[in-house]
Structure 1
Amino acid sequence: MSSSSPLSCRQVEAQDSSEALKLAHGQGIKPAVMAKVQVLNEAIKEIGMGRFQYELFFTAGFGWFADNIWLQGISILNPSIGNEFRGQPGVGNISLALYAGLILGATFWGCSCDIVGRKIAWNCTLVIGGIFGIAAGAAPNFIALCALIAMIGFGVGGNLPVDGTLFLEFIPGSHQYLLTLLSVWWAIGQVVGSLIAWAFLAKYGCDTPPAGEFCSRSSNSGWRYTFYTLGAMMIVLWVGRFFLLPVYESPKFLASIGRDQEAVDTIHLIAKRNGKVSSLTLDDLRSAAEPYLDPEHQHRYEETKSAPGTKMSSWQLFRHSFDDLSFDHVKALFCTPRLAWSTSLVIFIYASIGLAYPLFNQFLGAYLSAKNANLGEDSLDSTYSAFTYQAACGVPGSILAAILVEWGRGGRKVAMAFFTVAAGIFLFGLTQAKTKAQINVLTCFAALCENAFYGVLYGYAPEVFPTPSRGTGDALAAASNRITGLFAPVIAVYGTASVEGPVYASASIFVVTGLVMLLLPIETRGRTAL
């Protein structure tokens, strides 16, 4: 194992009891890596928040935008697709294909970014979603459509674990609250997905036909136009990322795999983009790490002190990084009792939220249709206008969450617990709504709280995971979120007797999960992520 790999449990126990080593022990990082990351944190603090980081806020937001625009879009399109492919097994559960892809994408891209770097995943996820999104619009049959949707999920699934990781590793500790604010892009994606699907389905959609009949392709092209539009949008966002606002590889990742010269070079490139000058040198990193190196690694450092940095291409890094592939990144997340408890709770919270959120949101269309029908408002416009109101309310939720995580003594844990419990309470209230106004108000407040706790949670997890295993930790959490999401359609369709059932189940899970959040042992407010 190289000096840059995560700290194994046996190696941790062998260290002495100095404060620095205790901190490294608690974080599951080798002391030499921790020392270098702390130097890089100071270098980023010296540069400050500037043009590069603000541009990164937008390009990282593209990934959040893409994640929810597909979740929302496919949820809305599901009934229309079913009208065309009636009689196909499982046609009502087409979201299963998306979730299967999301699970593979979250796991593959999240874990690989700790091995080959963050930049490769960053540059691939959007274009994969775009290409297969356009292809899905031309799907000749239901099986092909499911396969293409799964590939959309594979690309899109890497966005949240990778984008949050990369963004966190470039911003100063004083601005880590912006990681929570990134969720505003998630809400915007939901709004845009609702509006695009609504526009195409209203004009080119086919009303639900009688039993035994189906809509023809020519009379039901709205869902295909939506796929074409969303796919093209992903390509445009990828062009913005790849060509207009390119990103550098994370200096913390480079330092964690021993590529110190490239880490220093990246810091100077960031400073230049921000119109600043950095005082960081290669000797600063090496001097910080040397006291913690064993004789073998000390000798290796001495040999390379006078050697010029050798840069590798992305393909070379991809090939050579798999030489050290092992479960060290996973083991590091469970290395101490405190870290194991924290990691386990984070995964549990992601999993429970992953079940509760789609139980309500993926079947919101059917729920709103049933509610509105009981009130004599069964038009398409009535249903999708409620969809859009609900989606738009998520935007202020992200802003409010970003404020609360830095306010008062509560910090991240109390903020996300508050919003999660509140979301459950509003959903319980929704089941008792008697008027259209009450339905719209309660769905809006529920959406505000849902987007807020998602923003805090997806900001908290990267902060609590250490740099060498951050992508892996995010991947495990995101994968658990998607895996439980697979069960939502099954529970909603076969496990409940009424349209209110999924809402009750979702509300109950939110309340319980919010209380569990208070048991998290680590508060990251005011602490610069390692």
Structure 2
Amino acid sequence: MDVEQSAGKFAAAGAAEQSKKHDDPLAEDRSIGHGENDLLGGEHVDEVLTAKMILINDTIDEIGFTPHHWKLFCLNGFGYAVDSLILLIQSIISGQAQLEFQPGYSTGLTIAVYVGMLVGAIFWGFSADIVGRRFAFNVSLFISSIFTVVAGASPSWVTLGLFVCLSAFGAGGNLVLDTTVFLEYLPSRDQWLLTLMAAWWGLGQLIAGLFAWGFIPNYSCADADNCTRANNQGWRYMWYTSGAFVFVLSILRVTIIRLEETPKFLLAEGKDEAAVRVLQNIATKYKRPCSLTLAQLRACGTTRARVTTAGLLQRFIPTKDIGSHLQGLFATRKMGWSTTLVWFSWLLIGLAYPLYNVFLPTYLESRGASFGESSPYITWRNYAINNTCSVPGPILAGFMCRSRWFWGRRGTMVIGALITMVFFFCYTQVRTASQNLGFTCAISFCLNIYYGTLYAYTPEVFPSAHRGTGNGVAIGLNRIMGIVSAVVGNAANTKTPVPIFICAALYIVMAIVAAALPFEPYGRRSS
């Protein structure tokens, strides 16, 4: 490209940028092409990698939003939906499975699902930074679908717990990878869509609620004395149907798009040529400009490749690499503070969310009975309505995150947590059936404003080279507290308002932590 062409290109880009400022509220806050506004650019951890990452971000912004990104939005959203689907199925069917198997530990399935998701988050999270994002994207849903179907044929409580655990292992990596893969292809002006993608989580809850409403009231036994496999097929139908649904989603993932490794992962691995090729392929397919060249990346210097050993087995036993990824999350004081607070946020929500959502059927049943609504049909109808209200929460959060009026991501989390806290306290004063349904719907809506924003914020503030590890540990801490909540649920009485008070107090702490977070991704580009 000669000088005149370059000058013309930059003049046109400047004019286009000026015209965007009227339509794009973030335009004045960005310095696209110079890197001054990259979120972690001021941390000066790896100068060569930072310089190359700026070029990659510039190129992604140059290409812009394409149909490729819409496909990623949906296909990664499938993972969100499956995670919430598997998590809630076990809580929905637990009561009926207990009538059939009469186990000694009533919350065993909750522990099983969280153990599976814990191992899945750690395994898929670390492997994402060591092996790559593509492997988990292609196989995790398939693994989950197989064991979800098999769980429906379980002959005993222990066997059911095992297959629930294995199903959750496959699904457990999706929250780690989905945001990572989508973010690493997104233009900076569209990063708010990461929050919006959490609506898929609510959609998964809605699907679980609809399955429960259709199967549990119609194909379930009423008491343990007369409960057999023949007259208690409802909970098994839920597993079969859900497994088939997840299997279809896993097939769509590998047929609709042939995912290549994200350019930012390739860059961190020292594979500059492959990173350029991925971006040029997208630009060529959708007829978009792409001025990035391999020479530009090489001119920045040589990135230290983290993995020099060959062979897949060696890369799966990389204690040194795991340590380097953890250290990378604490490379500076500010990054270390950010990582600590983000992980602490996941720890808090990991206790508050299961105490409410996982035990919500118990709350609805106990409150419904006290209001004269003891019908299983009413209970599961209310459950489906409640989960419907969880879908628009992240949608609203997505628009709040991209507005100065709500102080970006951190402000959205503070607002979401405080409003949720208010509704939790109000829920303890419910006196009628209508109030019961109304307040649970309001809680689900507001809770997902905070939850959806936290999901998006977490990968945005981690460096790309260590993003999978940071996400994996965050989700892992969340799952550990889910196990704790199951133990609490077994030892305490979840039919009283006490767990609701605990949840409300936890959301106050979450709001304080959100306000103390050092990075604000609003108008900034992630690494």
What TM-score, normalized by structure 1, do the two folds share? 0.88
Aligned equivalent of 2:228, options 193, 216, 221: 216
Looking at structure 1, the residues matched to 44 and 479 of structure 2 have their Cα atoms a distance apart, in angstroms, of: 26
> Does 2:55 match 1:39?
yes
Aligned equivalent of 2:423, options 421, 426, 447: 426
**1:323-357 Cα deviation digits (max 9, x unpaired):** 66340110111122211111111000000001001
| Root-mean-square deviation (Å) | 2.1
Looking at structure 2, the residues matched to 124 and 318 of structure 1 have their Cα atoms a distance apart, in angstroms, of: 18
| CA deviation after TM superposition for structure 1 residue 289, in Å | 3.2
**SS, match of residue 216 in structure 2:** helix
Letter in 2 for 1:34: T
| Counterpart in the other structure of 1:366 | 362
| Counterpart in the other structure of 2:411 | 414
| Counterpart in the other structure of 1:169 | 184
**Does the Cα contact within 8 Å between 1:398 and 1:451 map onto a contact in 2?**
yes
| Counterpart in the other structure of 2:28 | none
Looking at structure 2, the residues matched to 235 and 411 of structure 1 have their Cα atoms a distance apart, in angstroms, of: 37
Looking at structure 2, the residues matched to 75 and 437 of structure 1 have their Cα atoms a distance apart, in angstroms, of: 24
**SS, match of residue 325 in structure 1:** helix
Looking at structure 2, the residues matched to 44 and 490 of structure 1 have their Cα atoms a distance apart, in angstroms, of: 46
Q: List structure 1 segments (4+ residues) > 3 angstroms apart after TM superposition.
A: 22-29, 315-324, 495-498
Runs of 5+ in structure 2 lacking a partner? 1-34
> Does 2:510 match 1:513?
yes
**Does the Cα contact within 8 Å between 2:124 and 2:136 map onto a contact in 1?**
yes
| CA deviation after TM superposition for structure 1 residue 499, in Å | 2.1
Q: Which moved more, 1:272-281 or 1:325-334?
A: 272-281
| Counterpart in the other structure of 1:133 | 148
**Does the Cα contact within 8 Å between 2:362 and 2:495 map onto a contact in 1?**
no
Inter-CA distance 383–321: structure 2 relative to 1 (3 Å threshold): closer
Looking at structure 1, the residues matched to 459 and 476 of structure 2 have their Cα atoms a distance apart, in angstroms, of: 14
| Counterpart in the other structure of 2:465 | 468
| Counterpart in the other structure of 1:339 | 335
| Counterpart in the other structure of 1:123 | 138
Inter-CA distance 49–143: structure 2 relative to 1 (3 Å threshold): same
Aligned equivalent of 2:242, options 216, 230, 252: 230
Counterparts of residues 98-497 of structure 1 (less than 5 Å): 98-209=113-224, 213=225, 215-289=227-301, 325-408=321-404, 410-496=407-493
User: Aligned residues: percent identity?
Assistant: 37
**SS, match of residue 507 in structure 2:** helix
> Does 2:106 match 1:91?
yes
Looking at structure 1, the residues matched to 398 and 180 of structure 2 have their Cα atoms a distance apart, in angstroms, of: 17
**Does the Cα contact within 8 Å between 2:107 and 2:489 map onto a contact in 1?**
no
Looking at structure 2, the residues matched to 370 and 280 of structure 1 have their Cα atoms a distance apart, in angstroms, of: 61
Inter-CA distance 217–341: structure 2 relative to 1 (3 Å threshold): same
**1:477-501 Cα deviation digits (max 9, x unpaired):** 1100110111112222314585212
**1:117-159 Cα deviation digits (max 9, x unpaired):** 1000111110011000011111121111111111111111100
| CA deviation after TM superposition for structure 1 residue 321, in Å | 7.7
| Counterpart in the other structure of 1:303 | none
Q: Which moved more, 1:367-376 or 1:241-250?
A: 241-250
**Does the Cα contact within 8 Å between 2:368 and 2:374 map onto a contact in 1?**
yes
Letter in 2 for 1:225: Y
**1:258-295 Cα deviation digits (max 9, x unpaired):** 111111110012213323242221111111335xx7xx
What TM-score, normalized by structure 2, do the two folds share? 0.89
Looking at structure 2, the residues matched to 430 and 191 of structure 1 have their Cα atoms a distance apart, in angstroms, of: 21
**Does the Cα contact within 8 Å between 2:143 and 2:167 map onto a contact in 1?**
yes
Looking at structure 1, the residues matched to 216 and 454 of structure 2 have their Cα atoms a distance apart, in angstroms, of: 34
**Does the Cα contact within 8 Å between 2:195 and 2:394 map onto a contact in 1?**
yes
Letter in 2 for 1:424: M
